[in-house]
Amino acid sequence: MKIVHIANFYGPKSGGIRTTLHQIGSGYISKGHDFTYVVPGSALFCEETPHGRKITVPSFILPFSGGYRIIRSNSDLKKLLVTLGPDIIEVSDRFTLSSIGIWAEKRQIPAVVFSHETLSGLAKTYLPFSIQKIVNWHNRRLASRFKHVVTTTEFAAKEFHQISAHNIVRIPLGVDLQHFHPNKRNSELRQTLLKGSDVLLLHCGRMSPEKKPELSIQTLRELRSRGINAHLIYVGNGPMYSKLRKISADLPVTFLGYIANRENLAEILASADVSIAPGPIETFCLAALESIASGTPVVASNTSAVGEFLLLNSKEQVGAVANGNPVDFANSVQQMLQIRNADTSLSMRAHQQAENYPWSSTVAMLLNLHGEKDEIRKSKHRLRAA
């Protein structure tokens, strides 16, 4: 099959969407399929990568986003699709690219859209009033334009179930289980990061308002008020970077920025004691899954999807959830520290839980959705000028 994936918000320092595209692209290629991903850039450019053919197209920077880009012209994008002649189209952006679904349907090309965020949650984060009717209208419109809407968790699917959409498919994302592993724990690196403290806390993710990154600093402040000698490290960047540095000036906090070296990142994740994922509307959170694959328990918001893979309320739990305030988060961090000190098998149990989410499973489920079991034929789609 010739599969084309179109994605906005992809860039050198984008986290989840970049990882997802690279992993599924590599998986498709390993199965003998042709994969092209079209992403925003400064100009039109094509290159071959280990993950497939990468085509960057002209775009503009989204204001106040910390550098995220959006493809400038859907008309030019459709002309490019005519040239590429895909058998399957995948779209990652529920806002500006939904017309691709209509275009594909007219040409009898199956198209799916990935819902990487909850619109209901975003509206509640940024607006002081309810727009639920508009949210429902948008979600109905989105679902009607594509053959399938791919969601990664039950939490992500909830807003579509509420409008009785019938083409919702749940396909969890995955984690590189060889790369992220407890054996990457580096004692020397850990001591360097601790800077004389006893407990190493980690926040890995984009610093944007909807992810509530300030809650990790507030949690650190609460823990230190209880006599816990903890140090917090931030991995990532985003529009709230300056604000976070300012409010943490009197605390032991280290900002490492975006880490492109995945080996270095794996060592950092494995060397921490607890990973904090405070985002209240996370629909999956790859950083949290990579943390538990690295053997590091996670404390997350009880309103996000992260709790779905932490084995809560079981003897094998590999994390905890908390209300969105520093006292409850601090309580949960202390709980996980106590479990970690009492149970030396926690790191390996966490990794074993992550083994339920290999990228190979994600790729297999997507290919099954695309009908891989059918005989691969030459495209017969009625491609015409956009």
**Domain of residue 155, CATH code:** 3.40.50.2000
221 falls within a domain: yes
Average pLDDT for runs of 10 along the chain of length 386: 95 83 97 97 94 96 79 95 98 94 97 93 86 95 98 96 96 96 97 98 94 97 98 95 97 95 96 98 95 98 97 94 98 97 96 97 97 52 40
Residues 6 or more apart from 226 whose CB is under 8 A from it?
330, 334
* Runs of H (alpha helix) within 165-209: 187-194
Q: Report how many domains make up the chain.
A: 2
Instruction: Write out the residue range of the structural domain in which residue 201 sits.
Output: 182-354
Q: Give the count of beta carbons closer than 10 Å to the beta carbon of residue 207.
A: 21
Are 210 and 189 contacting, i.e. CB atoms less than 8 angstroms apart?
A: no
380 falls within a domain: no
Q: How remote is the C-alpha of 130 from its chain's centroid?
A: 26
376's tokens? 């691969």
98 and 153, same domain (yes or no): yes
348 and 362, same domain (yes or no): no
301 and 341, same domain (yes or no): yes
What is the pTM assigned to this prediction? 0.91
pLDDT for residue 125: 83
CA distances from 163 to 135, 157, 166, 355 (A): 10, 10, 9, 33
Question: What is the distance between the alpha carbons of residues 62 and 69, in angstroms, rounded to a whole number?
Answer: 6
**Beta bridge mates, 69:** 61
Residues 6 or more apart from 154 whose CB is under 8 A from it?
170, 305, 308
376 falls within a domain: no
114 and 137, same domain (yes or no): yes
Question: What is the distance between the alpha carbons of residues 177 and 270, in angstroms, rounded to a whole number?
Answer: 12
236 and 296, same domain (yes or no): yes
Q: Output Rg (C-alpha) for the chain, integer angstroms.
A: 21
pLDDT for residue 373: 66
CA angle 313, 314, 316 (to 5 degrees): 135
206 and 70, same domain (yes or no): no
374 falls within a domain: no
288 and 148, same domain (yes or no): no
pLDDT for residue 382: 38
